[in-house]
C-alpha cells in the first residue's frame, strides 16, 4: 500500500514518461525519495519472515520496486545529456538477468532478447571509447 501511494508521484506522467525527465529540470527531487524508500523497505524484509509459498510474491515485489527505481534513475540520467542513461538501462537489464538466474537456481536457464546494439561485446566497438557498456560485454 505504501508503495502504491509513493508511486502516485508518477501519475501525471503516465501518457509521456519523457515529461517526467523534463520535470526534473524544475523539480530535481522528482519521485526519487519515494521509490528508493520503497525498495529499501522491501529489501530489509527477511525471506525467513515470509510465509511458505509467498517467496515468489516477495521476489516479484522486489523486482517491481527495482524496475521503478531504475526507471527513475534512467530518466534522471537522460536529462543530463550524457551517455549515462544508456549504461543505466543496460546495467539494469544485466542485473535483472543475474537476479532471475540466481532466484531460480543453478540449473536455471534464460533467454535474453535484445537489440543488436545491446548484444555483442562493447569492448570491441567504439562504445568503449564513449564509456558505454552493453549486455553482451557485461555478460
Convert the pLDDT of each residue in 96-121 to its tens digit: 999 999 988 999 998 888 888 888 88
Q: Identify the pLDDT of residue 96.
A: 92
Q: Identify the pLDDT of residue 84.
A: 82
- CA torsion 115→122→69→43, rounded to 10°? 110
Average pLDDT, the chain: 86
Task: Return the percentage of the chain with pLDDT > 90, whole number.
Answer: 29
State the helix-helix crossing angle for 55-78 and 84-104, rounded to 10 degrees. 170
- Judge whether residue 71 has pLDDT over 60: yes
CA distance 129 to 112: 25
pLDDT tens-digit series, residues 30-65? 999 988 888 888 777 655 566 666 667 788 888 888
CA distance 118 to 133: 8
Read off the pTM. Answer: 0.70
Q: Identify the pLDDT of residue 41.
A: 82
DSSP state of 51: P
Q: Identify the pLDDT of residue 50.
A: 67
DSSP state of 45: S
- Judge whether residue 81 has pLDDT over 80: no
CA distance 136 to 30: 32
C-alpha cell at 9: 508521484
Amino acid at each position: 500500500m505504501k508503495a502504491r501511494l509513493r508511486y502516485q508521484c508518477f501519475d501525471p506522467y503516465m501518457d509521456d514518461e519523457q515529461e517526467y525527465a523534463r520535470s526534473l529540470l524544475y523539480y530535481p527531487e522528482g519521485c526519487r525519495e519515494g521509490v528508493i524508500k520503497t525498495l529499501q523497505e522491501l529489501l530489509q524484509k527477511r525471506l525467513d519472515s515470509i510465509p511458505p509459498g509467498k517467496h515468489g510474491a516477495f521476489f516479484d515485489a522486489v523486482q517491481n520496486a527495482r524496475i521503478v527505481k531504475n526507471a527513475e534513475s534512467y530518466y534522471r540520467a537522460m536529462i543530463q545529456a550524457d551517455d549515462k542513461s544508456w549504461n543505466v538501462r543496460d546495467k539494469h537489464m544485466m542485473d535483472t538477468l543475474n537476479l532471475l538466474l540466481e532466484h531460480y537456481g543453478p540449473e536455471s536457464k534464460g533467454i535474453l532478447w535484445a537489440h543488436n546494439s545491446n548484444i555483442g561485446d562493447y569492448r570491441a566497438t567504439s562504445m568503449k571509447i564513449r564509456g558505454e557498456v552493453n549486455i553482451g560485454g557485461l555478460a
